């Protein structure tokens, strides 16, 4: 667990996309952040108050979260000075960067000297069990995609938020570094050893109240040959009661695989449901979540209506329409 609240480090981020981790925290767990810290030259803001380390400390911040992708895969000297000062002031550090905090000797020294933690959320911090497949109490939802990066995390966060608004019991369960930094906990599934993938998801979604929902962040796609094994481990470890189909309708081919066409929603529905029912015979497909960011409002609403008619399932774009229809369907399970 990463201690909250955070100060969000934006460094010298060149554009909004580079700050997607910070933006995710700001959008989904605003109470987890007291403010943002920007270096000279930073071109973005996530709309929080700019704070010095001292101001953030006074406001109660416990952890400086690197909310930005760094340039060139190197933690620059400009960043280092701030990170080391933060450690000396009693902040922990948390990062989802490929190059690890723990591999930077000066950060390790400063953390030790000040008794602080370095959280590299890409690296599993737990020895996960092998999955035992036993039925767990409580309910679970998983978004399965036609492709990678079609909006599965966003869908899960939106469903979780809508459930909480309605007073339902819900936990967003992060399976990637952005989700882990947003919530402070989770499983970095793409870095887990093969034999323990499904077990890590059982660990992440343990027995719970019968009316509690784990809203599990999806990864990859059964139809994406690079990552399909990760997706199946999520389906079998998560033993979902409900699947949501996630789709981005304007994509020309599978992400990173120019020779591969996207599957139809029907193909994903049939394949994912057959596989999910191995672990949970009662699993149902309850709706569709479409990322319509590349469409006009009218096109998007037409597309959602056509999808509903075609699939016989509620269809939403959680960013545009909210996740209400999905939660309506989940509330009946």
Choose between 72 and 312: whose C-beta lies nearer to a copy of itself.
Answer: 72
Choose between 30 and 129: whose C-beta lies nearer to a copy of itself.
Answer: 129
The distance of closest approach from Cβ of residue 300 to a copy of itself in the complex, given in angstroms and rounded to an integer, is: 28
What letters, b where the CB count within 10 A reaches 16 and e where it falls short, cover 191-209?
Answer: ebeeebbbbbbbbbbeebe
The distance of closest approach from Cβ of residue 138 to a copy of itself in the complex, given in angstroms and rounded to an integer, is: 17
CB atoms < 10 A from the CB of 38, how many? 20
The distance of closest approach from Cβ of residue 60 to a copy of itself in the complex, given in angstroms and rounded to an integer, is: 35
The distance of closest approach from Cβ of residue 174 to a copy of itself in the complex, given in angstroms and rounded to an integer, is: 15
Choose between 134 and 297: whose C-beta lies nearer to a copy of itself.
Answer: 134
Q: Determine if the peptide bond prior to 5 is cis (ω within 30°).
A: yes
- Would you give the DSSP letter of residue 109? H
Which tokens belong to 188?
């970095």
Contacts of 132 (CB under 8 A, 6+ apart): 199, 202
Beta carbons of 37 and 10 less than 8 angstroms apart: yes
DSSP string for residues in 233-273: HHHHHH--SEEEEEE-TT-SSBTTBTT-PPPPHHHHHHHHH
Choose between 63 and 280: whose C-beta lies nearer to a copy of itself.
Answer: 280
Choose between 89 and 271: whose C-beta lies nearer to a copy of itself.
Answer: 271
The distance of closest approach from Cβ of residue 7 to a copy of itself in the complex, given in angstroms and rounded to an integer, is: 27
Question: What sign results for the dihedral spanned by CA atoms 217, 221, 222, 224?
Answer: negative
Give me the torsion for CA of 302, 308, 311, 313, rounded to 10°.
160
The distance of closest approach from Cβ of residue 319 to a copy of itself in the complex, given in angstroms and rounded to an integer, is: 27
Measure the CA–CA gap between 179 and 196, rounded to whole angstroms: 20
Measure the CA–CA gap between 239 and 256, rounded to whole angstroms: 28
Choose between 192 and 290: whose C-beta lies nearer to a copy of itself.
Answer: 192
CB atoms < 10 A from the CB of 70, how many? 18
Beta carbons of 83 and 107 less than 8 angstroms apart: yes
Choose between 51 and 201: whose C-beta lies nearer to a copy of itself.
Answer: 201
The distance of closest approach from Cβ of residue 323 to a copy of itself in the complex, given in angstroms and rounded to an integer, is: 27
Binding site residues, a copy of itself, CB under 8 A:
71-72, 98, 129-135, 189-195, 197-199, 222-223, 225-233, 236-237, 239, 254, 256-257, 259-260, 263, 271, 274-275, 278-279
């Amino acid at each position: 667990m990463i201690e909250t609240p955070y100060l969000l480090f934006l460094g010298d981020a060149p554009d909004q996309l580079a700050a997607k981790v910070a933006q995710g925290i700001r959008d989904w767990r605003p109470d987890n952040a007291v403010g943002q810290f920007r270096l000279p030259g930073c071109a973005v803001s996530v709309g929080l108050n700019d704070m010095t380390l001292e101001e953030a400390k006074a406001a109660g911040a416990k952890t400086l979260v690197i909310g930005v992708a760094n340039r060139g895969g190197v933690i620059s000297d400009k960043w280092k000075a701030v990170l080391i000062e933060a450690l000396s002031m009693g902040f922990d550090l948390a990062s989802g960067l490929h190059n690890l905090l723990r591999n930077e000797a000066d950060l390790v020294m400063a953390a030790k000297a000040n008794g602080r933690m370095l959280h590299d959320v890409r690296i599993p911090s737990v020895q996960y069990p092998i999955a035992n497949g036993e039925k767990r109490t409580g309910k679970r939802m998983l978004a399965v995609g036609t492709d990678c990066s079609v909006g599965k995390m966003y869908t899960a966060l939106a469903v979780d938020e809508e459930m909480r608004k309605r007073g339902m019991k819900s936990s967003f369960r992060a399976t990637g570094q952005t989700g882990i930094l947003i919530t402070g906990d989770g499983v970095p599934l793409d870095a887990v050893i093969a034999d323990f993938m499904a077990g890590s998801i059982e660990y992440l979604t343990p027995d719970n109240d019968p009316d509690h929902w784990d809203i599990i962040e999806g990864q990859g796609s059964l139809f994406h040959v690079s990552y399909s094994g990760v997706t199946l481990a999520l389906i079998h470890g998560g033993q979902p009661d409900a699947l949501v189909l996630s789709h981005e309708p304007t994509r020309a081919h599978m992400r990173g695989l120019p020779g591969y066409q996207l599957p139809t929603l029907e193909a994903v529905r049939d394949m994912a449901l057959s596989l999910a029912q191995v672990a949970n015979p009662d699993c149902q497909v309850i709706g569709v979540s479409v990322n319509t960011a590349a469409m006009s409002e009218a096109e998007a609403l037409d597309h959602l209506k056509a999808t509903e008619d075609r699939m016989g399932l509620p269809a939403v774009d959680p960013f545009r329409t909210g996740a209400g229809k999905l939660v309506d369907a989940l509330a009946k399970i």
